[in-house]
Copies of this chain bind each other. A is one copy, B any other.
Amino acid sequence: MSATTLTAFEPRKTPVQARATVTVEAICEATIQVLLSHGADRLTTTRVADRAGVSVGTLYQYYPNKQALLFAVMEDHMEKVASAVEAACEQGCRKPLAEMIKEIVEAFVDAKMKRADVSMALYRVAADVGGPALVKRAVMRMRKALEAALRTAPHVALQPDKCVVDTMLAAMSGAIRSMMETGPSPAAARNSREQLVLLCQSYMAAATARQR
């Protein structure tokens, strides 16, 4: 069913000529711009097309509907975050647990914060646009990477099970979300980042020391 649902969001056709590639990129960028300037509920296909400097018809040539458009933008965003986490996991391999976690959490926070405005705008449309499926996919990637990294950590008495890793990911992404919604100052954001590191460190230390 996930497959069936997702097909409705697949691009209608892919650009062949160079100008079409430019057009598609302009549409994606325009989507983000409109999302930021007008808000999710006032995002219309016409407005996006205007902003991109093309006509609505062109937009519908590449995306079957409005949802597909937003889906594509979200997919791109989550890809970046997941990649950042994966890279950090690889980077943190074989390092002490606390350090490993620190690097991973910071990578995640930084990836989110880099486009905090986009993140927040996307939260609002996620549910109507196949977001859950994308989240599930991203979480799976991150869990896999995190588990692999954890296996290389020295002095870890007990390998945490799937549930623990999921909890950490949920807490991490959930907390970031809650924090971003408070519109923190740069100083507060930095502070939150530190706290989030500590949160994950202490949890993972506890979870690997004794099970349950």
Q: Which residues of A contact B (CB under 8 A)?
A: 40-41, 123-124, 127-128, 132, 135-136, 163-164, 166-171, 173-179, 181-182, 188, 191-192, 194-196, 198-199, 201-203, 205-207, 212
Copies of this chain per assembly: 2
Q: Which residue of B lies closest to A192 (CB)?
A: B167
Cβ-defined contact, B175 with A194, below 8 A: no
Taken together as a complex, chains A and B put the C-alpha atoms of A169 and B167 apart, in Å, by 15
Cβ-defined contact, B194 with A212, below 8 A: yes
Cβ-defined contact, B164 with A174, below 8 A: no
Q: Which of B173, B182, B191, B205 contacts A202 (CB 8 A)?
A: B205
CB neighbours (8 Å) of A124 from chain B are 127-128
**With A173-B178, A175-B170 in contact, do A163 and B202 touch (Cβ < 8 Å)?**
no
Q: A167-B196, A168-B199, A199-B199 are in contact. List 8 more A-B contacts (CB 8 A).
A: A132-B181, A167-B192, A167-B195, A167-B199, A170-B192, A171-B175, A171-B199, A202-B203
Q: Which of B41, B167, B192 contacts A163 (CB 8 A)?
A: B192
CB neighbours (8 Å) of A135 from chain B are 178, 181
Nearest CB in chain B: distance from A35 CB, A:
12
Taken together as a complex, chains A and B put the C-alpha atoms of A173 and B181 apart, in Å, by 12
**With A192-B163, A203-B198, A206-B202 in contact, do A136 and B173 touch (Cβ < 8 Å)?**
no
CB neighbours (8 Å) of A188 from chain B are 163
Cβ-defined contact, A175 with B175, below 8 A: yes
Q: Which of B174, B179, B201 contacts A176 (CB 8 A)?
A: B174
Taken together as a complex, chains A and B put the C-alpha atoms of A205 and B207 apart, in Å, by 14
Taken together as a complex, chains A and B put the C-alpha atoms of A56 and B182 apart, in Å, by 35
CB neighbours (8 Å) of A176 from chain B are 174
CB neighbours (8 Å) of A173 from chain B are 174, 178
Nearest CB in chain B: distance from A103 CB, A:
18
Nearest CB in chain B: distance from A37 CB, A:
16
